[in-house]
Amino acid sequence: MKDFEYTNPATLKEAVDLLGAQWGETEILAGGTDLLALMKDFIVTPKRLIDVKGVRELSGIQTTGGLRLGATSTLEDVVRNSAIASRYKAIHQAAAGVPSPQIRNRGTVGGDLTQRPRCWYFRLGYGLLGQKDGKSLIPAGDNRYHAIFGNEGPAYFVNPSSLAPALIAMNAEVTIQGPKGRRRVRASEFFVTPKSNTGRENILAPNEILTDITVPANVPVTSATYEIRQKLHLDWPLAAASAVLTMNNDTVRSARIVLGHVAPIPWRAPAAEAAIAGKTVTDQTAEAAGEAAVRGATPLSRNAYKIQLAKVAVKRAILAAAGKETP
């Protein structure tokens, strides 16, 4: 990798002051499970690394009066937290679903939300949109693991975050700190589809840091995340779904269902939410919601199989949330 300056700020203000005004000048180092690989492959070549692991304002998990996840909390911290396991099951299951103990112990909550796409065209140096001579290589290329929603172009990669679908389904908010102060946005508004190779997959500016994620206290406890992988050891899901159900006895009063790994952003499924609302959760009603979730999918030449996987993920997430199936 290229030479770089290493910095180790003690406070959030120091960290923000060290950030560059343009993408590529600086990168934030927390767990490093993704960043260091990108640097070794010369996909990113920052002049300065800002190690934020020692910044106290970015750490810790609080579960009183809602949930706060500090950006440098690890996935293993989430897995080991008993309050999250009982009260925010979809988040707990999403973190526990990361199969590598090494990544769970090093990878952070903030890093999970801001990691770069796993698209192999991007990782091979063809840019964020996988283009050569201004034309995307993906529609006519090997697109087995690419998007089946939101893929009208120019972005075809899938959002790689494990936690994002659950956080969006739970109405979470993300806090961002920059030189002009602090701002909070809904997790659903944090992710964006880039329109050019110079764009990014989220709304962070080059001189901003994601500091924490908060989930309201009144989120229903009936929730679940279900992921489908090609293999059980270290691998990223082919499709995932998080479901949060508001129940009236045995009837679903309302639902929030978000798909993962099927679009450039976490993909809300309002048709599935409408299909299960007012129904008792059964195998049949959950399957109907899964079918509704994938209506309008536009698979590429080699990834139509993901439609069935997404449908199953929604069905099983709903059943698990209602206590009818173990995720």
Assigned domain for 286 exists: yes
Confidence of residue 230 (pLDDT cuts 50, 70, 90): confident
Residue 120 pLDDT > 90: yes
21-39 pLDDT, tens digit each: 999 999 999 999 999 999 9
Closest C-alpha to 289, from 280, 300, 299: 280
Q: From CA 34, how far away is CA 207, in angstroms rounded?
A: 20
- The CA distance from 138 to 308, in Å, is 21
Q: Does the residue 247 lie in any domain?
A: yes
Q: Are 237 and 254 in contact (CB under 8 A)?
A: no
Do 115 and 163 contact (CB within 8 A), yes or no? no
What is the strand order of the sheet 48-51 is part of? 5-7, 48-51, 26-29
In a domain, 271, yes or no: yes
**What are residue 70's phi and psi, to 5 degrees?**
-65, 145
Beta strands 181-186 and 173-178: pairing type?
Answer: antiparallel
- Residues 316 and 327: beta-carbon distance below 8 Å: yes
Q: Does residue 177 sit within a domain?
A: no
CATH number of the domain encompassing residue 260: 3.30.390.50
**Of 39, 49, 104, nearest to 76 (Cα)?**
104
The boundaries of the domain holding residue 250 are 223-321
Dist. CA 4–CA 192, nearest whole Å:
29
**Ramachandran region of residue 196, left (φ > 0), alpha (ψ -120 to 50) or beta?**
beta
Please check whether residue 108 lies inside any domain of the structure: no
Token pair, residue 209, equals 């840091």
Residue 268 domain flag: yes
- At 231 the pLDDT is 73
Structural domain includes residue 242: yes
pLDDT band of residue 260 (cuts 50, 70, 90) is very high
Q: How many CB atoms are located within 10 Å of the residue 82 CB?
A: 9
In this prediction, residue 236 carries a pLDDT of: 85
pLDDT (tens digit per residue) in 155-192: 999 999 999 999 999 999 999 999 999 999 999 999 99
Strand, helix or coil at 289? helix
The answer to whether residue 233 scores a pLDDT higher than 70 is: no
What lies within 8 Å, CB to CB, of 312 at 6+ separation is 228, 239, 290
Q: For residue 61, tell me if it sits in a domain.
A: no
- If one counts the domains in the chain, the total is 1
Query: What's the token pair of residue 288?
Result: 């109907």
Looking at residues 232-242, what average pLDDT do you find?
Answer: 86
CA angle, corner 270, sides to 267 and 275, nearest 5? Answer: 130
Report the predicted TM-score, pTM, of the whole model to 2 decimal places.
Answer: 0.97
